[in-house]
Structure 1
Amino acid sequence: MASKTAKLPAPSSAPPLAKRPRNAAATREAILQSALIAFSRAGYDGVGLREIAGEAGVTAILVNRYFGSKEEMFVEALKVACADASLFEGDAASLADRVAQAMVALPAGESAGVDPFRLMLHSASNPRAAEILREALADRFERPIASSLAGKDRPERAALFLALIAGVALMRGVIASPSLAEADPSALAKRLAQMLKPLVEDKPAKKTDKPQQLSLGF
């Protein structure tokens, strides 16, 4: 009697996998984070949409679909970079100490991450980027600082406050001055706070018998 060979059932054809829907919010966030890092590293003029798209793992066409243009992307990236203004809000009496300690806590030297001060420094040479920066700084930092101050010339003092800490961020965080990078953090924070407090407290400058003239040798 001939043996019958058992036949295996033919493999069933599985239905094609459905395409995974794109998470629009996650994609937009990935593009923004890529833009923040790129603008902090190279500034407004030093980076293009293709580079930002590549770092985010998307196409330049998709970047345009979410943001429309590099200018609009810069605006949105700056909003994220300046989103946390809580350090400048609250009790004015401790403002100088809070900010000084936060500035010293930032790592000295070049960083590949998001840095609002480096973003500002690298992008300010572009006229349109500078205009966007002015609006963002005034809205997120200058006005909150000025509203917490007492005395005269509050907007001017708030702008000087920001200019001082931006200079420290430049010298310590970007240029990495050894004297600042290697200084004792506690002593450096105390000295910086002493420089900031007159702007907070609106103490008049001491009068001198004769105005000092500074010659730059030009």
Structure 2
Amino acid sequence: MSQPKRTRDPDAKRAAILAAARAVFAEHGYEGSTIREIARRAAVTHGLVVLHFASKEKLFLAAVPGPSILVANVPGDVDGLPGRIAQAYVARMESAVEGDLFLALLRSAAGDQSVARGLLRAVREEAVIAYRKVLTGPDVDARVEMLGAHLIGVTFSRYVLADGPLASMPADELVERLTHTLRGILLG
């Protein structure tokens, strides 16, 4: 009896690795996750994971959902931008469940500074490209950086630490307040 012929599908294997990585990082955080466990769940070899991603940090950064939900809401009129971003952010975060990948990865990134820097760079690059299509002026990079820092702070206060007035604020009030602060950051 002959062995079934193995098929090579690098895109499918890469997708399986990323899916497994998201699950493992969400369950165990960055430091508690291993390439071996990710490979096992993806039904691939440890070497194939390293071949595709080179390191756990690079795999982590590839698995992180970027700011696409916010970037998708950038196009449109400049005046409505703060409200669109606030609404998209709150809707995304309010629908997150315990063990949500974004929150788990954010918690993990906070524990490892090199990973946190890589994550911040990746998010910053994607966001700056999108915002430059709508915003003008020499300080767009700084405004986008301030936007990111503000939303990271809100995320930690409300969704990670979940303590204090910000954590108990109704979602519609949060959207209203965020729209106001984001207007100041983005439009001055």
Q: Under a length normalisation based on structure 1, what TM-score does the superposition of the two structures give?
A: 0.69
Cα-to-partner distance string for 1:101-153 (whole Å, 9 max, x where unaligned): 122212377632321x5424422443432332232122111343355224563
Between the aligned partners of 2:139 and 2:3, the Cα distance in structure 1 is: 66
**Which runs of no fewer than 5 residues in structure 1 stay unpaired?**
1-14, 203-218
Report which of the two has the higher share of helix.
2
Cα displacement (A) at 1:189: 0.9
Given residue 74 of structure 1, which amino acid in structure 2 is its aligned partner?
A: F
Cα-Cα RMSD: 2.9
Contact (CA 8 Å) 2:128, 2:140: kept in 1 or not?
no
Number of paired residues?
Answer: 185
Range moving further from structure 2, 139-148 or 167-176: 139-148
Q: Which residue of 1 aligns with 2:30?
A: 44
Between the aligned partners of 1:24 and 1:143, the Cα distance in structure 2 is: 29
**Which runs of no fewer than 5 residues in structure 2 stay unpaired?**
none
Given residue 72 of structure 1, which amino acid in structure 2 is its aligned partner?
A: K
Between the aligned partners of 1:83 and 1:162, the Cα distance in structure 2 is: 9
1:130 aligns with 2:116: yes
Q: Which residue of 1 aligns with 2:170?
A: 184
Matches within 5 A, 1:4-153: 16=2, 18-78=4-64, 81-82=65-66, 84=68, 85-105=71-91, 106-107=93-94, 111-115=98-102, 118-151=104-137, 153=139
Give the secondary structure class of the aligned counterpart of 1:148: coil
Cα-to-partner distance string for 1:81-104 (whole Å, 9 max, x where unaligned): 217232334432222111111222
Cα-to-partner distance string for 1:22-51 (whole Å, 9 max, x where unaligned): 543222111112223433554433321122
Between the aligned partners of 1:91 and 1:41, the Cα distance in structure 2 is: 39
Given residue 111 of structure 1, which amino acid in structure 2 is its aligned partner?
A: E
Between the aligned partners of 1:173 and 1:34, the Cα distance in structure 2 is: 24
Q: Under a length normalisation based on structure 2, what TM-score does the superposition of the two structures give?
A: 0.78
Contact (CA 8 Å) 2:107, 2:160: kept in 1 or not?
no
Give the secondary structure class of the aligned counterpart of 1:35: helix
Cα displacement (A) at 1:193: 0.8
Between the aligned partners of 1:130 and 1:200, the Cα distance in structure 2 is: 24
